[in-house]
Amino acid sequence: MSLSEYKKKRRFNKTPEPGPEKKTSELGNVFVVQKHRATQLHYDFRLEADGVLKSWAVPKGPSMDPAVKRLAMQVEDHPVDYADFEGVIPEGEYGGGTVMVWDHGIYAPENSEGVSKGLAKGDLKFTVLGKKLKGSFVLVRTRDRQWLLIKHRDEYATEGEDISETQPYSVLTKRTLTEIAEDEGGVVKKAGTGDPKKLPPRRGVKRRKKSAQKKIWHSDKTKK
Ligand code: MN
């Protein structure tokens, strides 16, 4: 599969998102989960395979509870460079809103034939080593682009905890969606609806210096 759908949906002179180049990361098996406050809040779950990030939009986000099945809608492949993207897509552009790198790390398929074969069959068991997500998961296709993301029972599984509430910060910068929007020229109020009302304690937040703050992206075209 190519990045043509990714390319077609975006205007790269308007969005700060990376261009549609195929490549392999240094590790070759990265995964990333990006929390994205677009029209609807969702979590983009991405696995590197065949020079791209295979991608699913998970409306409620991944769960570490094996009793919870999360709907995961497969979306267009993304470039591998997308794994580091945290910032603001201008309003009016495709996916306009604030993007946070919510979790990242590496993963490995649990089948012997590899990721592509597993995905083609509609059943991929894999193990992730992230900062938040750990252990064994399965992505299983129910129909067309509709999949379920389910945690397997293992030593990392937890019951009853909503990890999106207890671990709401960026793994890159420890920022909230609100803070990313403030720093990168996004719509702060809209971004804030994706943050939990009660924020857990944190350390090491990295804010952009006021002087280095990005102005509204292409403000002349997107704002009156
Ligand atoms: Mn998205």
pLDDT tens digit sequence for 18-44: 999 999 999 999 999 999 999 999 999
According to the model, what pLDDT value does residue 214 have? 64
Contact at 8 Å (CB) between 77 and 1? yes
Distance between Cα 134 and ligand 1 center (Å): 22
* Residue 73 within a domain: yes
Res. 220 pLDDT band, cuts 50 70 90: very low
Distance between Cα 40 and ligand 1 center (Å): 9
Q: Indicate the DSSP class of residue 126.
A: E
Distance between Cα 27 and ligand 1 center (Å): 24
Distance between Cα 208 and ligand 1 center (Å): 23
Distance between Cα 44 and ligand 1 center (Å): 5
Res. 222 pLDDT band, cuts 50 70 90: very low
Does the pLDDT at position 190 exceed 60?
A: yes
Contact at 8 Å (CB) between 90 and 15? yes
Distance between Cα 59 and ligand 1 center (Å): 9
* Residue 14 within a domain: yes
pLDDT tens digit sequence for 117-154: 999 999 999 999 999 999 999 999 999 999 999 999 99
Distance between Cα 37 and ligand 1 center (Å): 8
* Residue 185 within a domain: no
Phi first, then psi: give them for residue 159, nearest 5 degrees. -110, 140
* Total domain count, the chain: 1
Query: Which residue range(s) make up the domain with 134?
Result: 4-158
According to the model, what pLDDT value does residue 69 have? 97
Top pLDDT among 215 and 118 is at 118
Distance between Cα 57 and ligand 1 center (Å): 6
* Residue 116 within a domain: yes
Distance between Cα 65 and ligand 1 center (Å): 23
* Residue 221 within a domain: no
Does the pLDDT at position 211 exceed 80?
A: no
Phi first, then psi: give them for residue 116, nearest 5 degrees. -60, -40
According to the model, what pLDDT value does residue 224 have? 36
Contact at 8 Å (CB) between 151 and 70? no
* Residue 178 within a domain: no
Q: How far apart are the first and last CA of the chain?
A: 39
pLDDT tens digit sequence for 39-92: 999 999 999 999 999 999 999 999 999 999 999 999 999 999 999 999 999 999
Distance between Cα 74 and ligand 1 center (Å): 11
Distance between Cα 54 and ligand 1 center (Å): 13
* Residue 144 within a domain: yes
* Residue 35 within a domain: yes
Distance between Cα 112 and ligand 1 center (Å): 30
The DSSP bridge partners found for residue 139 are 124, 149
Contact at 8 Å (CB) between 218 and 224? no
Distance between Cα 21 and ligand 1 center (Å): 19
